[in-house]
Amino acid sequence: MQSLLEIEQLSVGFRTKRGFLQALHDVSLTIAPGETVCLVGESGSGKTVASKAVMRLVDYENGQIEGGRIALNGVDLTALTQGELRSLRGKRIAMIFQEPMAAFDPVYTIGYQIVETILRHERKTKAEAKAHAASLLARVGIPEPELRMKQYPGELSGGMLQRAMIALALSCGPELLIADEPTTALDVTIQAQILHLLQELKAEFGMSILLITHDLGIAAQIADRIVVMYAGRIVEQATVAELFAQPHHPYTSGLLRSVATLDTEKGDRLYAIAGSIPSLSKLPEGCVFHPRCPHATDRCRASAPPLVKRGGREAACWHADALLQDGALSAREAQGEATDRGESAGAALWPDRGVSSVVAPEHGESAVVVPNRGLTAHEPPAPETVRVLLEEGKENGTTQAEQAKTGSVELFKVEDVCKYYPIKRGFPGRSRTFVRAVDGVSFSIREGETLGLVGESGSGKSTLGRLLLQLEPVTSGRVLFEGEDLTRLGASRLRQTRRHMQMIFQDPYGSLDPRWNVGDLVGEPLAVHHGLAGKEKKQRVEELLAAVGLDHGILSRHPHEFSGGQRQRIGIARAIALHPKFVLADEAVSALDVSVQAQVVNLMQDLQQKLGLTYLFIAHGLHVVRHISDRIAVMYLGRIVEIAPSRELFRRPAHPYTRALIDSIPHPDPRLRTEPAAIRGEIPSPARPPAGCRFHTRCPLATDRCRSVSPDLLPLDGDRSVACHYPLQ
């Protein structure tokens, strides 16, 4: 069968202020008609560059195809002019971008933009184009499509806007659909809907799909073949079943082992690949993965291995055959083996910073720090940061081990908190309506614990987090921090108290001043609260950057020079600079690659153990929430519907909404590929919440009582509470 897309020996570079940087090196892959191929790898691997090269969009970003060939059904795209390419884009190749808000023009309606694309490529009248656009919106599951066509991008929710992006991409029936991280920022329920939709549309339109993702659970559920990229090169290609059953490259093995699953025990360290992906300007000699590879030899450091075919699959590793024979490569090895490579608590926390291992404390014993005596040339020595932070952590009170002896203490207590946003009306005298973002929430956060907070976008999770820190005033209710009512504090006292409460923001780019360099951004809290300056401040900033897996050489660079995952790590370094008592992590790991995500989760757990930190962990990645959380609160449309210990909540959810969230999680194993059990519809508007139980409009078990009487959050058993008239047993 002839391939629909053929990429042969593709090399792409970019003109930058630091010179010409090569982003892709001899990339070759094919996609057959009707096939779904997933590109996976960490941020900076070249996945998005490869997809944009196919569309020839790199031409508009100072990029240049240096060599190779890209053919679509035999047509060499590298030989076409931009005018000729414009007739293909949208018609034969279409793309779903990672951020649909950036892909849509905010000053034009959704309908106008879809109709414009149809008229450009199809011989249709305007009326026919409008009817086709409305039918596409309906096909992708958008209710009231005629109304939505008149709305602007900013008026649609994230999930609905992503569906509109899919409708736009499908408007002219493309042969190849490129989807660049189409579900990264979406909730698990909406993600399940989008993945199910893509699979349906693929069969309906006979398309091929090139899907870019860092979520291996998604790849396991949707891919026919997987292509693994690292530092601009392909290191492995295989069918999804082959790759998950037996990876042939150490990098692939590391990615698979980094995934948190429902089988991962809380408290166990997640496996993480040591170090971070290299900069394009500082690529290592030989195999580009050798600085992070536990099996690297002198041959790996001297020369780059070619991509070699082995039984219908490909891998670029000098020692693949020997490693496979020895059983060193596995997707399902015990995660505890990470410590065999020096990735113990201290080494993962402060990589290459003079610590070889930290013996984890048991039964309340103190941690033992073992200095590293065998530093190599690329591991610069530094102060024993572990010991420093342990000493400073005493300021924050007892450690977790001591708390276990004295019993749980409430750090935060939230009492019947509400946050309403008034909606302005055009005519005076009209009754005002409100967006009920948080509506009568009560709970507590205990010292030293991690409370996970989950729920779809629009549930009120982020708003509730901001209310805890008093970044926004409550409409009613009380927020107590160590017994002190934050809602009654003056500005000066509140500012002093906030030193002990820090936040990792959902949008790292929006939370980092683009005019400041990394050294200033991370060092500002140290200067303001500790009075550090000069060499001492620089040293502490370097230690913080190392703690989140970043090189100290980036001190003079600015946020726009980093990937989204790297920017998030900069934000985390800034948040932990003052060693606060409480950290609010608002989607802190949702945009990170699985290995980096594992590093950050391990980092947060280590800091919690050593400094007695307390976390509120807001996320939509339920695997990670389960792993890091002691208890989990489930929020829906401004209210908590269930709160329970993490293990119990996943083992036996009591609320139908909780069960639906868990059922929507894509399982990172192609052998367990099933139809996604997505919740139908979207979360209602918080300005017009349904009467009775707010989930009844989407609940398959709803009764007349659910539609008329709102259930209270009541104790169910043990440490569990649920707001449901008919809790699941």
- 222 pLDDT higher than 80: yes
Nearest-angstrom CA–CA distance, 664 and 675 = 10
Nearest-angstrom CA–CA distance, 333 and 560 = 38
Three-class SS of 617-666: EECCCHHHHHHHCCEEEEEECCEEEEEEEHHHHHHCCCCHHHHHHHHCCC
Q: Which residue has the tokens 């007349």?
A: 704
- Residue 46's pLDDT is 92
To the nearest 10°, report the CA torsion of 94, 96, 98, 103: 80
Helices (H) and strands (E) in the chain — how many of each? Answer: 27, 26
Neighbours of 720 (CB within 10 A): 18
- Residue 386's pLDDT is 35
The amino acid at 205: F
Nearest-angstrom CA–CA distance, 614 and 448 = 5
The alpha carbons of the chain give a radius of gyration, in whole angstroms, of 26
Q: pLDDT per residue over 483-511, tens digit each? A: 999 999 998 899 889 889 999 887 777 78
Coil vs helix vs strand at 144: coil
- The encoded tokens of residue 463 equal 């708003």
268-277, 421-430, 648-657: least confident range: 421-430
- 352 pLDDT higher than 90: no
Task: Choose between 405 and 476: higher pLDDT.
Answer: 476
Nearest-angstrom CA–CA distance, 551 and 549 = 7
Nearest-angstrom CA–CA distance, 499 and 495 = 7
Selection from 624, 668, 566, 597 nearest residue 38 by Cα? 668
What are the strands of the beta sheet with 410-423, ordered from one edge? 433-446, 410-423, 476-481, 484-485
Q: Which residue has the tokens 């339920």?
A: 622
Q: pLDDT per residue over 55-101, tens digit each? A: 999 999 999 999 999 999 999 999 999 989 988 998 899 999 877 77
Residue 655 contacts by C-beta under 8 Å, 6 or more apart in sequence? 634, 641, 642, 695, 722, 723, 724, 727, 728
- According to DSSP, the β-strands at 410-423 and 433-446 are antiparallel
The amino acid at 638: G
Q: pLDDT per residue over 682-699, tens digit each? A: 788 888 899 999 999 999
Q: pLDDT per residue over 629-639, tens digit each? A: 999 999 999 99
Query: Mean pLDDT, the chain, as a whole number?
Result: 83
- Residue 343's pLDDT is 33
Q: pLDDT per residue over 380-403, tens digit each? A: 333 344 334 434 443 444 444 344
Q: Which residue has the tokens 């291996």?
A: 216
Nearest-angstrom CA–CA distance, 296 and 281 = 22
- 349 pLDDT higher than 60: no
| Range picked from 264-273, 453-462, 638-647 for highest mean pLDDT | 638-647
- Residue 404's pLDDT is 40
Q: pLDDT per residue over 17-42, tens digit each? A: 878 889 999 999 999 999 999 999 98
The structural domains of the chain, ordered by start, are: 1-92+174-343 (3.40.50.300)
Q: pLDDT per residue over 574-617, tens digit each? A: 988 888 999 999 888 876 778 878 888 887 888 788 778 899 99
Q: pLDDT per residue over 119-170, tens digit each? A: 988 889 999 999 999 999 988 888 888 989 999 998 887 778 888 998 999 8
The mean pLDDT value for 114-120 works out to 93
- Residue 281's pLDDT is 84
pTM for this model (two decimals):
0.80
Q: pLDDT per residue over 658-680, tens digit each? A: 999 998 888 888 887 766 556 77
- 294 pLDDT higher than 60: yes
Nearest-angstrom CA–CA distance, 546 and 350 = 6
Query: Where would I find the H helices in 451-563?
Result: 461-468, 491-497, 508-511, 518-530, 534-547
- Residue 20's pLDDT is 87
- Quick check: 688 and 611 in contact, CB under 8 A? no
